[in-house]
Chain A
């Protein structure tokens, strides 16, 4: 049995008439220790999918199974790194992480909790900033805090919702390496949602494109059989990398074009003129 399973998931927002179906017929299974990336256009329902998996939303129909049990509500077993960091601005870096750790390990003593916090702050190399508030940090540092907060709860699975989307290319690259390092240490299961094909190719074992919504659904999966640790500069010369990359991009472009041609369908406007149009002048 798969570690995480999504069976025939549908998600609809709104009631009857004004309802829009965001996700339709999503099927996904992730094995333990696997790193899966879902790539999709912005606005294709990626965040909705993530929230279904982490338990913030419930599917309209279908089921989400985590270790064989249906997901109901959030759980400490599934750590989430949000798209927009979502740090609490009135708490310092240490306090933000401590709040999570306290909830995850209610039985530990204060000293132990502080040790955990210090360890994870050290891991994302923010020890000098432990007493700073989020506003004093750069975007990359904030995201590192968010990563530390999610990992400090020692989740069995990490769910990342476009974690690096708002960062510049250099910081992005560094953080990708950091996340991979941390993931490599105890091989937790990881799900990465991203809009960057290269990011997926560099980090994941499998890439699954999400066809854009409404009625978004998952496309065919692409396996990336490149040995870890991967080297960014060497990747460019790797034939298997090139092939997979081209295939994915071609697939996404095709979807994009299909979507465009659909949108082109002509709308015939009714032939109307204002009633007293002439008389006004």
Chain B
């Protein structure tokens, strides 16, 4: 019997069950029980989102007024009545020069989001034009054995998101390549376990900032001859080293705690050591390994921002830091946009990993 794959199953599998409830609402397939369910799963979250935005709006307004009043008071005490009047008029007109700098309102954040997208379109167009303009020249340069001229304009917000994702995936792959084999060896051999245990216990709680500094010391010296920008290399290695611990520990635990029944099967069938690892031990510890990988990916995404900021790697972390340093009138709202983008991408990454994890998992007692 072949199981059909429906939208409902897929969304449920990904932990996005509320989507299918929404679909049922629009196609009119809801019963009375379902309606209660719908209230709980779709209306309540929606209401809480609206409440959140409302509170945010009110809070932002209160902060704005406090900041504005402070500015007017200051003008009054420092420069007198006329300056205070001028300041009040200036603030009321919404002029950039005297705008109170505080928590932006939801509306401002939305505007900044749109302006960042516009900015991206402009930069993309500029980039395309540049590539077209230099195409002929670059062809000649390459033919002459010289390096092609590349676009060196500033990256757009979208470019920075892509850069961050690249860094995180490179770091994640590094963590995977180090942690899984090492975890398997540690899990298989009690000797290796005692050899590595202190190492894991000591380095696991080290902060991302310290990892960055350590990697920086080493990579800087190794790449001393190179003129290329090493910030990407440094940041992805730091991200990988920071986040690999969950996978390492989970893999070792999964491998060392394989059900005794499976080990007995392997013995009775007389599987060789290689076969035993690949056909019995690894498949049975896959669920735990994937739990580890899921934690690793979310940790990687979390530490990425701090590390990019330190490494000056052109991703979201650097974007946030530059906007903060920049202090333009829409900087604050751009930071909030970045915050939401970081949160949403983190959520999506987590869901992707959960989907893969569900696909490889099996109930521990299924074969027994």
Contact = CB atoms under 8 A, between A and B. Distances in A.
A142 B365 CA distance: 12
Given A82-B261, A90-B362, A99 B268 contact: no
Given A82-B261, A84-B368, A134-B367, A89 B267 contact: no
A182 B6 CA distance: 44
Interface in B231-283: 261-262, 264-265, 267-271, 275, 279-280, 283
Contact of A89 (B268, B270, B279, B367): B367
B363 A135 contact: yes
The 8 closest A-B pairs by CB, nearest first: A89-B366, A89-B367, A135-B366, A87-B367, A86-B261, A90-B283, A134-B367, A84-B368
Contacts of A74: 267-268, 270
Contacts of A54: 268
B262 A56 contact: no
Of the candidates B275, B284, B367, the one having the most CB atoms from chain A within 10 angstroms of its own CB is B367
B269 A82 contact: no
Interface in A65-92: 73-76, 79-80, 82, 84-91
B269 A103 contact: yes
Given A134-B366, A135-B362, A135-B366, A88 B268 contact: no
Given A86-B265, A88-B265, A90-B284, A76 B366 contact: no
Interface in B163-194: none
A79 B269 CA distance: 9
Nearest to A142: B367
B266 to A, nearest CB: 9
A153 B270 CA distance: 11
Contact of A133 (B264, B268, B366): B366
Nearest to A88: B367
Contact of A88 (B270, B275, B280, B363): B280
A162 B261 CA distance: 15
Contacts of A75: 270
Given A56-B264, A135-B362, A86 B367 contact: yes
Contacts of B279: 88, 99
A80 to B, nearest CB: 5
Size bin of chain A's contact surface: 20 to 34
A193 to B, nearest CB: 15
Chain B interface main SS type = helix
Given A88-B279, A89-B367, A90-B362, 20 more contacts: A56-B264, A73-B267, A74-B267, A82-B261, A82-B264, A86-B264, A88-B262, A88-B280, A88-B367, A89-B363, A89-B366, A90-B283, A90-B284, A99-B269, A103-B270, A103-B275, A104-B269, A133-B362, A135-B367, A142-B367
Nearest to B362: A89
Contacts of B270: 74-76, 103
Contacts of B363: 89, 135
Interface in B286-317: 286
A235 B283 CA distance: 47
B101 to A, nearest CB: 58
A216 to B, nearest CB: 21
Nearest to B267: A74
Contacts of A134: 366-367
10 contacts: A86-B262, A86-B264, A87-B368, A88-B265, A88-B284, A89-B367, A99-B271, A103-B269, A104-B269, A133-B366
Given A89-B366, A135-B363, A135-B366, A56 B261 contact: no
B271 A86 contact: no
A142 B261 CA distance: 15
Interface string A95-124: 000011001100000000000000000000
Interface in A126-169: 133-135, 142, 153
Nearest to B271: A103
A141 to B, nearest CB: 12
Nearest to B363: A135
Nearest to A132: B1
A74 B362 CA distance: 28
A148 to B, nearest CB: 14
Contacts of B265: 82, 86, 88
